[in-house]
Amino acid sequence: MSTDEDTTTAGGRPAAETVIPGVLQDLLAAKGPSGYETAPAEVFRRAAASFGAQTHTDAVGTPSALVPPRGSEGGGRPAGAAAQAEGHAPRGSGPGGSPSGSGPSGGQPSAEGHGPPAEGNRRLIVMGHIDEIGLIVTHIDDDGFLWFREVGGWDPQILVGQRVTVSTAGGREIPGAIGKKPIHLLRDEERKKVAEIRDLHIDIGARDREQASEMVRVGDVAVLDAAPVPLPNGRLLSRALDNRLGSFVALEAARLVAQEGGAPDWELIAVAAAQEEITFGGSRTSAFSLAPDAAIVVDVTHATDAPGIEIKDLGKHPLGSGPVVSRGATLHPALFELLCEGARAQEIPFTIEASGRHTGTDADAVHISRGGVPTALVSIPIRYMHSPVEPVCIDDVHAAAALIAAMALRLSAETVLRR
């Protein structure tokens, strides 16, 4: 059993061994800034189909994967079972995705919304956002340099001197680098100033505007070119851990529940929300359309074992201490207790984080959807958030998925979620 002061390392791998799960590796390799998540969403769908989940992608670009309740038709299907690509049938619907006893057949999702749970079942969504921060081209100048704005929140100092990959509408990936005026040429007063986005440009090696315009268009997006790197002590260094980790944990929790034949009386939908870094677009629309009875949002939080972090403000959440379960004003106390009980029962290490107002995650959108959704937040500690060098302990990732699966399997028709 762990508390908010527990620093026991999750798992027990040798210090020098770091094994990166293949699906997580693929998610991190895929490029997908906010609003352009097609590549990582396809990785998510393929992985979900491999363990028999029913997959769907909505108009915003959010993929989801449904694991039916235990004992229901299609529940507990073996890995490799075919995925249903047409989308999730609304609750209270008959075969083919239409309201029971009426409507067309063929598995098409209904536009009518969700009715009451079929056969007394309820719905849990586990949501991690799949987008990452990036850059968008705003102008191509006469010399062929690309000028840009941020997609999501950047510290401009991080961007100076970074290699980038610009993704075009035609599917090409154009390498480049972010440049600025060299220090040798800066005036004394300029050296004292921090770089701003407007001072930076992308160099793709073009001779002039004409050649650059043949390669890239205004509105094309870019991400930093930073491949995942295994580190000692079971750690991984990568860009986009915020929040491909959340998408991976949601998917892995769904796989673990499917492996047990589904949760009793509850269906589980893993959701990889689009556009969290800019609008909460994916979480707003998914929470509304899926109408869950409960939700667990999975995101990253600040590891507190890096220099300069004040634990009196944030609590103590070092790498290797397990998932972080949030407790606070907008989060549901019953779900918090269920998560803690599941962690203790399975001897999963965890820490506790307090939230006095909004969380800065998709939980802020989900919990006020429709008439309100009981919502919990589970986070994974990482260092140097919103950079291309975010470290994480892989054991914390696996522990987060195990924790959520353990809680989902403890749910029943009698579970009461009341303030």
Q: What is the pLDDT of residues 93-105, one digit of tens each?
A: 433 333 333 332 3
Give the C-alpha distances (Å, rounded to integers) separating 215 from 79, 86, 218: 42, 36, 11
pLDDT score for 243: 93
pLDDT score for 360: 94
pLDDT score for 120: 73
Distance CA 225, CA 47 (A): 24
| Strand extents, DSSP E, 196-317 | 201-203, 221-224, 229-231, 235-238, 266-273, 294-302
The share of the chain scoring above pLDDT 70, in percent, equals 84
State CA 380 to chain mean position distance. Answer: 11
Intrachain domains 22-131+239-410 and 134-224 with the same fold: no
Which position has the higher pLDDT, 249 or 310? 249
Examine the pLDDT at 78 and tell me if it is beyond 90: no
Q: Which CATH architecture has domain 134-224?
A: Beta Barrel (2.40)
Q: Is 370 exposed, middle or buried (0-12, 13-18, 19+ CB in 10 A)?
A: exposed
Q: What is the pLDDT of residues 279-292, one digit of tens each?
A: 999 999 999 999 99
Point out the residues that are catalytic: 276
* Mean pLDDT to the nearest integer, 291-311: 94
CB-CB contact of 21 with 370 (8 Å): no
Q: What is the pLDDT of residues 10-55, one digit of tens each?
A: 444 445 567 899 999 999 999 999 999 999 999 999 999 999 999 9
Quote the DSSP letter at residue 208.
Answer: S
Domain spans, the chain: 22-131+239-410, 134-224
Examine the pLDDT at 80 and tell me if it is beyond 60: no
**Third-level CATH fold of 22-131+239-410:** Aminopeptidase (3.40.630)
